[in-house]
């Protein structure tokens, strides 16, 4: 949840004066206090979703209208690209009280692109991505910006990746994914059911204690209870494993307004090194960005070390992301090396990065210049905010031949966007260029602490009753116990969202010691 803006000093940043920042903060609307109510009203949910969208760097909240009916949120309005519309829906799902999201946002790109040029751009994007370049996918486009994908891949993850690449091309208003999935071998229902249960159990973004899994003729059905709409969507995506023909989540209800131990079951019981290692290896095997590489996974008391060689920087980053999202992992040391093919010149790689920036609907490519030497891509220029700076970084990382990115792009707005694992793929802190220092605040410490408590209450991922909040000179201190690292991360995000200039998170992750799984 986001209620108050947070401003930080960053290298190469141009930012507001402290007085201007304080005035902007005071003028921002906030949702009404609801701590004394067990279930928020639809009006309060609408206010909370609007607050969330208002401060998201990739969503133009003025163009999106929010309605709620018994916890079902409907989004209407316009967005510049599919990714922004999808992100708005993802953001809404992270609000407490939201049971489901109906996304009716119309995608209206800022400039019309002819169907021939659009088709060629999507084809180039698929060929340029190191994970989709070998897929046999055909692209069709019409004058309205709708793109149709056809062909055959070997997994739902590969199909979904192709769809994401196409959706990330500027000018695309809709993606009709007709790619067929051809599994190498048929699987029996009992085996599919077992593997889906294990995948849900080992992913930190889903509390699966009250989820039931069934499978008939390759069609998976999930039923039971999850704690948020974001988890419901995540569970559906995770259930698409080898052999699955369809996933039905109609029976999976969002019936709890906050985290509950019953939703976790034994998920966070103490795990052995071997169990964590196998879970990480399974996550890497199911990720098409990483699956083709031999990655060694070392585990010691929850600390994971990744070793091996890949041929692109995106695969290196994706491997770390997969490991971080695995139950039992407390930290990740990434010792994977990028070993690209030596035949690509720096000029060729730089040209492909520039093309990737041109295709990105969030990046104004005219504001970013690129040089490449010995596989190191250097980015220069000035963009709107850290979100766009990170997008440019990711665009470069996807280009074969890039072993590292030196991102020297400045930002005009230094407002810090807190990481949300259900919305953002990579924390800003994971980028080598990301540095910040606390900015000034003119708010009373008591007001900040109250807003943090409000934020924690609104989050469907944190049991706010277990978290003690204090604030001194704008620095928020969090104490208490949480059940998972995900909950701990979410609490930090909530504190920053509420206006903390810094967060000292001393929350202790307390797994279930009663049984060692």
Domains of the chain: 115-181 (3.30.1340.30), 189-264 (3.30.1340), 273-338 (3.30.1340.30), 346-437 (3.30.1340.30)
Among residues 137, 131, 141, the alpha carbon closest in space to that of 169 is found at 141
Angle at 273 between CA 272 and CA 274, to 5 degrees: 90
User: Which residues neighbour 28 within 8 Å (Cβ) at sequence distance 6 or greater?
Assistant: 3, 4, 5, 51, 54, 55
Beta strands 502-505 and 475-482, pairing class = parallel
Three-state DSSP state, 194: helix
- Walk along the chain (517 residues) and give the pLDDT tens digit of each residue: 444 333 333 333 333 333 333 333 333 444 544 444 567 899 999 999 999 898 888 888 889 999 999 999 999 999 999 999 999 999 999 999 999 999 999 999 998 899 999 999 999 999 999 999 889 899 999 999 999 999 999 999 999 999 999 999 999 999 999 999 998 888 999 999 999 999 999 999 998 989 999 999 999 999 999 999 999 999 999 999 999 999 999 999 998 766 677 777 778 788 899 999 999 999 999 999 999 999 999 999 999 999 999 999 999 999 999 999 999 998 899 999 999 888 789 999 999 999 999 999 999 999 999 999 999 999 999 999 889 999 999 999 999 999 999 999 999 887 667 788 889 888 877 888 877 666 677 789 999 999 999 888 888 888 878 899 999 999 999 999 887 777 888 898 889 888 888 899 999 887 655 444 5
Helices then strands, each counted (H, E), the chain: 14, 23
Give alpha helix (H) positions in 252-334. 261-264, 273-285, 313-324
Backbone angles phi, psi at 293, to 5 degrees: -110, 150
What is the pLDDT at residue 465? 82
Element housing 127 (H / E)? helix 115-128
What is the pLDDT at residue 459? 87
What is the pLDDT at residue 458? 87
What is the pLDDT at residue 410? 93
Q: Which two tokens stand for residue 346?
A: 């720096």
DSSP class per residue in 386-454:
HHHHHHHHHHHHTSTT--EEEE--EES--B-----TTT-SS-GGGSTT---EE----S-HHHHHHHHHH
Contact 204, 234 (CB under 8 A): no
Tell how far CA 458 is from the center of its chain: 19
Task: Please name every residue paired with 74 in a beta bridge, in sequence order, or none if there are none.
Answer: 67, 102
d(CA 283, CA 365): 34
What is the pLDDT at residue 437? 64
What is the pLDDT at residue 193? 97
Angle at 283 between CA 316 and CA 516, to 5 degrees: 125
Q: Which two tokens stand for residue 117?
A: 């040029």
Contact 20, 515 (CB under 8 A): no
């Amino acid at each position: 949840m986001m209620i108050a803006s947070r401003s930080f000093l960053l290298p190469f940043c141009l930012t507001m004066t402290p007085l201007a920042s304080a005035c902007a903060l005071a003028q921002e609307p906030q949702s009404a206090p609801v701590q004394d109510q067990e279930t928020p009203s639809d009006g309060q949910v609408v206010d909370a979703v609007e607050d969330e969208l208002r401060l998201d760097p990739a969503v133009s909240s003025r163009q999106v209208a929010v309605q709620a009916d018994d916890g079902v949120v409907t989004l209407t309005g316009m967005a510049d690209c599919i990714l922004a519309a999808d992100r708005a829906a993802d953001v809404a799902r992270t609000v407490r009280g939201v049971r489901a999201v109906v996304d009716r946002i119309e995608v209206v790109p800022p400039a019309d692109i002819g169907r021939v040029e659009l088709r060629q751009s999507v084809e180039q994007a698929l060929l340029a991505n190191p994970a989709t370049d070998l897929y046999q996918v055909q692209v069709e486009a019409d004058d309205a910006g709708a793109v149709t994908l056809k062909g055959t891949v070997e997994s739902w993850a590969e199909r979904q990746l192709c769809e994401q690449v196409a959706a990330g091309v500027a000018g695309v208003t809709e993606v009709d994914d007709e790619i067929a999935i051809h599994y190498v071998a048929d699987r029996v229902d009992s085996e599919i059911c077992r593997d889906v249960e294990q995948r849900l159990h080992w992913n930190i973004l889903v509390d699966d204690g009250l989820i039931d899994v069934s499978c008939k003729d390759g069609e998976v059905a999930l039923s039971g209870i999850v704690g948020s709409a974001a988890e419901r969507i995540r569970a559906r995506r995770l259930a698409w494993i080898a052999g699955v023909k369809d996933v039905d989540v109609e029976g999976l209800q969002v019936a709890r307004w906050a985290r509950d131990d019953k939703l976790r079951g034994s998920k966070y019981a103490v795990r052995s090194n071997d169990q964590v290692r196998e879970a990480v290896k399974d996550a890497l095997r199911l990720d098409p960005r990483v699956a083709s590489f031999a990655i060694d996974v070392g585990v010691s008391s929850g600390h994971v070390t990744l070793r091996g060689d890949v041929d692109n920087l995106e695969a290196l980053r994706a491997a770390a992301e997969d490991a971080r999202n695995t139950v039992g992992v407390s930290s990740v040391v990434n010792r994977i090396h990028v070993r690209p093919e030596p035949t690509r010149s720096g000029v060729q790689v730089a040209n492909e990065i520039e093309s990737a920036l041109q295709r990105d609907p969030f990046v104004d490519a005219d504001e970013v210049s690129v040089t490449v030497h010995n596989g190191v891509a250097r980015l220069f220029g000035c963009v709107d905010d850290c979100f766009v700076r990170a997008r440019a970084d990711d665009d470069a990382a996807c280009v074969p031949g890039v072993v590292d990115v030196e991102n020297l792009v400045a930002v005009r707005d230094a407002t810090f966007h807190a990481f949300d694992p259900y919305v953002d793929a990579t924390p800003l802190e994971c980028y080598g260029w990301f540095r910040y220092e606390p900015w000034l605040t003119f708010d009373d410490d008591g007001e900040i602490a109250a807003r943090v408590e409000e934020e924690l209450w609104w989050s469907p991922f944190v049991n706010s009753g277990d978290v003690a909040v204090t604030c001194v000179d704008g620095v928020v201190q969090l104490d208490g116990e949480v059940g998972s690292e995900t909950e701990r991360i979410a609490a930090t995000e909530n504190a920053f969202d509420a206006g903390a200039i810094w967060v000292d998170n001393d929350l202790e992750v307390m797994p279930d010691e009663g049984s060692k799984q």
